[in-house]
Amino acid sequence: MLAEFTLDEAGGEPNAAEILLAPLSEDGHTVDAIVGGLSLRPMKADGSSPKRRAVVRPDGPMLFALGSSAAFGERVARRLGIMLAPHEERFFEDGEHKARPLSSVRDRDVYVFDSLTGDSRHTSNDKLCRMLFFIGALRDAGAGRVTAMVPYLCYSRKDRRTKSRDPVTTRYVAQLFEAVGTDRLMTMEIHNLAAFQNAFRHPTVHLDANSAFVGHFAAEIGDAPVAVVSPDLGGAKRAEIFRERLETTLGRPVAKGFMDKQRSGGVVTGELFAGDVDGRMVVVVDDLISTGTTMARVAAVCRAKGATRVSVAATHGLFTGGADALWGEAAIDDVVITDTVKLPALDAGAVANRLVVLETADIFADAITECSRAEFGIHRRP
């Protein structure tokens, strides 16, 4: 936009006028011509101009990756054929920090990566604040659109009140992202999808890693009979979606099952198991592994009911406290996770030959491409 002013004709309604110019280029580098135009919009009754939609330049996405998510961001950038944009992060003696872009973001379509789980250096709260402040800096610097790329979203499990006066932290996190000017948030395999979608007022994109998991397990299973098990009723729909995709890929029926679970004061109980796993390879599917207690419990029950092999699969491998309960359970043959969370230090002896990490960079890169195409009205050919 070259200029903006008010056009007030005698006896008529005032109009907000904009003079717009756009460069035209054949090769994407050399400007061959300039096209211009005049935009007129009626003023509001109070004399103010209606809110103008942010202008986003159609010259490709701009990616930033904060902190320990740099390696993940680089993998996504490589799939898109671009480089990560430079930025600066500084930490001060009093525990405060700042982050800022080191190149112009004006009118750009910006994506900011960080997985919001605590590690040995920074808590999830530290990472959340860093991302929020960085998004605020991008908006102040004139970014056309900002998408928070959060492979793992902190506080997503605190989506409802379980006790009187409990906080609904998922909603508060959504309000924080909205407050700093986030246009959209993209995440993977949220704990409660309905609660997540209801918490955010700005657009969200929810991804899953089923394509990666199905590809891996289809190759591992071969001709063996198989069953997909959910560790609790709350995750039954997630497990069913995976089971249906695996069944389609294998071209034969895949059995299903689920385990009953109640949690109170950090103690997991429940003995009910439904489903036929006798003589089958079992894949236990969940959104995340924290302490590993739930997965270990289900694996032991499946073995006792005749499962020939038990694999546990989860998108996010948090492995809180080393997840000793998981690695100490002999019923588990292997643990399959994705790279959404940077792995903590684990006992190499316990983990040896049992941990598989699948990449999700392709999934995020494809989602960015689709979002960018939708913004500029570009669609894939059929």
Residue 183's pLDDT band (boundaries 50, 70, 90)? very high
**Stretch among 17-26, 75-84, 177-186, 223-232 having the lowest mean pLDDT:** 17-26
Cβ-count burial 10-23 (b if 16+ within 10 Å, e if not): eeeeebbbbeeeee
> What is the average per-residue pLDDT within 57-74?
90
- Which residues, including other chains, have CB under 8 Å from residue 242's CB and lie 6 or more apart? 210, 213, 214, 228, 283, 285, 313
127, 150 contact by CB (below 8 A):
no
Residue 353's pLDDT band (boundaries 50, 70, 90)? confident
Topology adopted by domain 210-359: Rossmann fold (3.40.50)
Verify whether residue 44 is a known catalytic residue: no
Query: Which of the pair, 367 or 23, is modelled with greater confidence?
Result: 367
**Domain ranges within the chain, ordered by starting residue:** 3-42, 61-209+363-375, 210-359
State how far the alpha carbon of 49 is from the alpha carbons of 16, 52, 343, 378, in Å. Answer: 6, 8, 50, 30
Q: pLDDT at residue 46 above 60?
A: no
Q: pLDDT at residue 53 above 60?
A: no
**Which residue type does 314 have?**
A
* pLDDT at res. 267: 62
Catalytic residue chosen out of the listed positions 98, 158, 261, 305: 261
pTM of the model: 0.81
* pLDDT at res. 93: 92
Topology adopted by domain 61-209+363-375: Rossmann fold (3.40.50)
State how far the alpha carbon of 276 is from the alpha carbons of 21, 228, 242, 257, 258, in Å. Answer: 66, 10, 17, 7, 10
* pLDDT at res. 49: 43
Are the folds of 61-209+363-375 and 210-359 the same?
A: yes
pLDDT digits (tens, 9 = 90+) for 210-232: 999 999 999 999 999 999 999 98
∠ at Cα 211 (374, 236), nearest 5°? 105
> What is the average per-residue pLDDT within 38-42?
61
Dihedral, 346, 349, 350, 353 alpha carbons, nearest 10: 100
* pLDDT at res. 8: 59
* pLDDT at res. 263: 63
